[in-house]
Every structure is written in structure tokens, then in C-alpha cells.
Amino acid sequence: MASTINGERISVLEDKCIGAGNCVDAAEKYFDQDDDTAKVVLLRDVVEPGDGDSVRRAVNVCPVAAILLNSSGA
């Protein structure tokens, strides 16, 4: 099932974010939460080699679908 998403660009819809923190559990290299707003903080926005599964898991565990993945150049 695992598709390659290296090089894809991550973006977050901050308005939608409810501060669940599920993305941080899934991929803490990419996501953190602001201590004051609890909203998602994107630590890096390009998926690095080998991180595809954890980033895709973060996308899929967001309860409000606030994390998006776009192919670079697409």
C-alpha cells in the first residue's frame, strides 16, 4: 500500500485545527503544537526520504482533515 510521497509539500489549515495533537504523535519531526494556542506548528514542509509513512499517518489521523499533502510542482 505504501506509496512514495518523498518531496511532497505539507500544508496545514490552521483555522480548522482543533489542537488534537494526533499529528505530533504520528510524526513529531514534522509537527508540533503551539503552547499557547495548541494549534499545529509545521516544523518542516517537505517530506524527506523515508518519512512518507509517518507523514501520511499524521494526515490520516487528523480528526478534522486539517493537514494537506501536495506533490511539488503539481
Partner 1 sequence: MLPSLADILVVGGGKAGSQLTASLRDEGFEGTIAIVGEEPLHPYDRPPLSKEYLGMGDVGGLLLRAEHFYLDSAIDIETATRIVSFDTAKHVATRSDGSEITYGELVLATGARPRKLRIPGADSEGVSPLRSVEDADRLKAILTARSDLVVIGGGFVGLEVAATAAISYGCKVTVMEALPRLLSRTALPETAAHIQRFHEALGVDVLLGAQAAEILSDNGRVTAVVTTEGQVIPADGVVYGIGVEPRVELAEAAGIEVANGVLVDSTLHSSADGVWAIGDCCAFPSVHFGGSVRLESVQNATDQARHLAGELFSGVRSAYTAVPWFWSDQGELHLQSVGLTGTFDSTVVIGDADSGSFTVLAFHDGRLLGGDSVNAPGDHLALKRLLGSDSQAGLTATVAGGAGFTLKDFARQARLAKEALSRSA
Residues in contact with partner 1 by CB under 8 A are 1-2, 18-22, 33-39, 53, 56-57, 60-61, 63-65
Vertex 74: Cα angle to 68 and 50 (nearest 5): 60
Of 45, 55, 50, the closest CA to residue 23 belongs to 55
User: Scanning the structure block, which residue is given the C-alpha cell 510521497?
Assistant: 5
Q: In terms of CB distance, is 37 or 72 closer to partner 1?
A: 37
**Distance of closest approach, residue 34 Cβ to partner 1, in angstroms:** 8
Q: In terms of CB distance, is 46 or 65 closer to partner 1?
A: 65
